[in-house]
Chain A
Amino acid sequence: MTDPADRAMILSRDGWGRIIALIAAADGDISGAEDALSTALERAVTAWRAEGPPDNPEGWLYRVALNARRDVWKSAAARTTTALDDVLDHLGSDPADHVPDALPDRRLELLAVCAHPDIDPPARALLMLSAVMGMTGKQIAAAMALPAATVSARLTRAKKRVAALGVGFGHPDRLDLESRLPDVQEAIYGAFAIEWAHAAPTPRAGMVGEAVYLAGLLACLCPGDGESHGLAALIHLSAARFPARRGAAGEFVPLTDQDPALWDPTLTESGEHHLQEVYRCGHVGRFGLEAAIQLLHLAGVRTGTTDWPMLLRLHDDLESLAPSLGGSVSRAAVLAEVEGPEAGLASLDALSPGTDSGDAKRVSAFQPAWVLRAHLLDRLGRTGDAAEAYRRAIELTTDPAERRFLEQRPH
């Protein structure tokens, strides 16, 4: 870490996405922009070691990357009818003297393109990691626990689609961007949520850091959008609890038994900050509500008293805004705390199979519903029924740590 060239390289990382976005904005060619950045990075390794890092590493990288890209454009223009001037116009004046902060930031447009309806939903987050964070296919594969061949095939296909959209995204329609935001948020959330469902013996840190970065970036690029802050709040607060989810021996630790001292204070603080921004924006959407619910739970564990009536109100709002099976089961758990276990059970019973709760999965196969049912039956003293429900919950549990946890319960 002592080598100034290495340090400059690390510090420039944050700018990689900006450089890719800016260059790709001209013609929509993400692969081309990434190649140009790679060329610039390769040259930087040699040049910065030999001559010392430049005062403005990001500007240096941008200039070299742009020149590399121009060479490609010029040879393309010679062969085809590509209107080089149009492409270059997108980039504005000669960037040679640009300071990083003066570089136009096209990352929001790039994110929106990654979440374009023509791009397969599973590829959207991969594309974001590649284009906006400059991650290689191999790094993405490792983070998402996918085979690298699958990732590279999906990335190649997605980048071809983007290029085939035919236009650069340098002149985006503001309205269009806003209508894309939910897809951008969904893709980032999807990349994050996949990690919580993984069937590994120990949870992998995986995508958590990347999702935190992307969500934070989106909120920073859309400071006036409540849901972007809501997503950032939700992901920060969930990620904060990550170190506390497993005990020293790898055992499952439910939220109520977690040690708040193990929660990451920087992440919880950022989460709270983003949640305040949600309220400042005056628009609370699905992610904002889920973040608020998380924060109330965290506060409850921390102080020993949970504001259940407030939680119920938030769950009611969430149910009317974005109904889901998982949400309904959580609401039933909260209802049980407010009105008693019978009310919680009744609410669970009301989620009969076939009810269209916005979730294809059936209640009878939904493990969290059985865990809650068992818990509520236990509280009502119906130990026989509770044991039956625990048995079913265990049958449907694939995570070894959670299975052990359920098996060890007195029933």
Chain B
Amino acid sequence: MRCSLLFHAPEPGADGPTPTDEEIQEMMRLMDDFGQALTSAGVFVAWEMLTPSQTATTVTRKTGQVVIEDGPFAAAKEALAGVVVIDVPDTEAAIAWAEKFPGTSYGTIEVRPAATSFVDGAWTRP
């Protein structure tokens, strides 16, 4: 079963102390440990950490024509900061991994099973 661990964290520059280079290095080391553990367990699919939501571009055609806009719509305190996709037997196993995600010390992980995934050119049901 594919499951996305959606990591929400305070945006850089939000209130609160800015992490130093050393602190960032430290967190990267912990994140690396987590990635290695996922890989060695054979559950790893993909992991992206995202640039701040200010860099986002939104695209919609809801009004009938293509509208491309810069930036986020809501000034939320926390924003989507990363996505880890894992392939595990069930939600319980996904939660076991989410508990070990180092970023939970400053953000929140949302565990979302995939409803369906497009893999190797076709839709696959879990």
Name the one of B23, B40, B90, B100 contacting A141, with C-beta atoms under 8 angstroms. Answer: B23
CB of B71 closer than 8 Å to a CB of A: no
Question: Which B residues lie within 8 Å of A362 (CB)?
Answer: 92
CB of A186 closer than 8 Å to a CB of B: no
| 14 cross-chain CB contacts under 8 A | A145-B102, A147-B23, A147-B26, A148-B19, A148-B20, A149-B20, A152-B17, A201-B33, A201-B36, A364-B92, A395-B88, A395-B90, A398-B100, A399-B37
User: How large, as a class, is the contact surface on chain B?
Assistant: 20 to 34
Question: Which B residues lie within 8 Å of A396 (CB)?
Answer: 92-93, 96
Closest 5 CB pairs between A and B? Answer: A199-B100, A365-B92, A148-B23, A400-B40, A149-B19
Name the one of B19, B26, B33 contacting A142, with C-beta atoms under 8 angstroms. Answer: B26
Name the one of B20, B41, B88 contacting A400, with C-beta atoms under 8 angstroms. Answer: B41
Using a CB–CB cutoff of 8 Å, the interface residues on chain B facing chain A are 16-20, 22-23, 26-27, 30, 33-34, 36-37, 40-41, 88-90, 92-93, 95-97, 99-100, 102, 105-106
Question: Which A residues lie within 8 Å of B106 (CB)?
Answer: 147, 149-150
Q: A147-B19, A364-B92 are in contact. Are A398 and B27 (CB under 8 A)?
A: no
Name the one of B19, B33, B99 contacting A200, with C-beta atoms under 8 angstroms. Answer: B33
Question: Which A residues lie within 8 Å of B96 (CB)?
Answer: 365, 367, 396-398
The DSSP consensus for interface residues of chain B is: helix
Closest to A202 in B: B33
Q: Report yes or no: A403 in contact with B33, Cβ–Cβ below 8 A.
A: no
Closest to B27 in A: A147
CB of A45 closer than 8 Å to a CB of B: no
Closest to A145 in B: B30
The DSSP consensus for interface residues of chain A is: helix
Q: Report yes or no: B22 in contact with A199, Cβ–Cβ below 8 A.
A: no
A200 to B95, CA, bound (A): 17
Q: Report yes or no: B36 in contact with A141, Cβ–Cβ below 8 A.
A: no
Q: Report yes or no: A403 in contact with B23, Cβ–Cβ below 8 A.
A: no
Most chain A Cβ neighbours within 10 Å, of B20, B23, B34, B97: B23
Question: Which B residues lie within 8 Å of A147 (CB)?
Answer: 19, 23, 26-27, 105-106
Q: Once A and B bind, how many residue pairs between them come within 8 Å at the CB atom? A: 69
> What 11 additional pairs, Cβ within 8 angstroms, besides A365-B92, A397-B96, A400-B36?
A141-B26, A147-B19, A149-B18, A149-B23, A153-B16, A199-B33, A199-B34, A365-B95, A392-B89, A398-B97, A399-B37
CB of A146 closer than 8 Å to a CB of B: yes
Question: Which A residues lie within 8 Å of B27 (CB)?
Answer: 147
Interface residues of A in 262-276 (CB under 8 A from B): none
Question: Which A residues lie within 8 Å of B40 (CB)?
Answer: 400, 403-404
Question: Which B residues lie within 8 Å of A403 (CB)?
Answer: 40-41
A153 to B23, CA, bound (A): 13
Most chain B Cβ neighbours within 10 Å, of A146, A364, A367: A146
- A 357-369 to B, binary, CB cutoff 8 A, 1 in contact else 0: 0000010110100
A404 to B22, CA, bound (A): 32
A147 to B30, CA, bound (A): 10
Question: Which A residues lie within 8 Å of B93 (CB)?
Answer: 395-396
Q: Report yes or no: B23 in contact with A199, Cβ–Cβ below 8 A.
A: no
Interface residues of A in 388-407 (CB under 8 A from B): 392, 395-400, 403-404
Using a CB–CB cutoff of 8 Å, the interface residues on chain A facing chain B are 138, 141-142, 145-150, 152-153, 199-201, 362, 364-365, 367, 392, 395-400, 403-404
Q: Report yes or no: A149 in contact with B16, Cβ–Cβ below 8 A.
A: yes
Question: Which A residues lie within 8 Å of B97 (CB)?
Answer: 398
Closest to A364 in B: B92
Question: Which A residues lie within 8 Å of B33 (CB)?
Answer: 199-201
Question: Which B residues lie within 8 Å of A148 (CB)?
Answer: 19-20, 22-23, 26
Q: A147-B19, A152-B17 are in contact. Are A201 and B37 (CB under 8 A)?
A: yes
Question: Which B residues lie within 8 Å of A145 (CB)?
Answer: 30, 102
A142 to B36, CA, bound (A): 20
Question: Which B residues lie within 8 Å of A153 (CB)?
Answer: 16-17
Closest to A152 in B: B17
Question: Which A residues lie within 8 Å of B37 (CB)?
Answer: 199, 201, 398-400
Most chain B Cβ neighbours within 10 Å, of A138, A152, A200: A200
A201 to B100, CA, bound (A): 12
Q: Report yes or no: B23 in contact with A398, Cβ–Cβ below 8 A.
A: no
Determine how close the nearest CB of chain A comes to the CB of B47; give it in whole angstroms: 15
Determine how close the nearest CB of chain A comes to the CB of B90; give it in whole angstroms: 8
Question: Which B residues lie within 8 Å of A365 (CB)?
Answer: 92, 95-96
Question: Which B residues lie within 8 Å of A146 (CB)?
Answer: 105
Determine how close the nearest CB of chain A comes to the CB of B126; give it in whole angstroms: 15
Q: Report yes or no: B26 in contact with A149, Cβ–Cβ below 8 A.
A: no
Question: Which B residues lie within 8 Å of A367 (CB)?
Answer: 96
Determine how close the nearest CB of chain B comes to the CB of A138; give it in whole angstroms: 8
Question: Which A residues lie within 8 Å of B95 (CB)?
Answer: 365
Determine how close the nearest CB of chain A comes to the CB of B54; give it in whole angstroms: 20
A89 to B57, CA, bound (A): 64
A395 to B88, CA, bound (A): 7
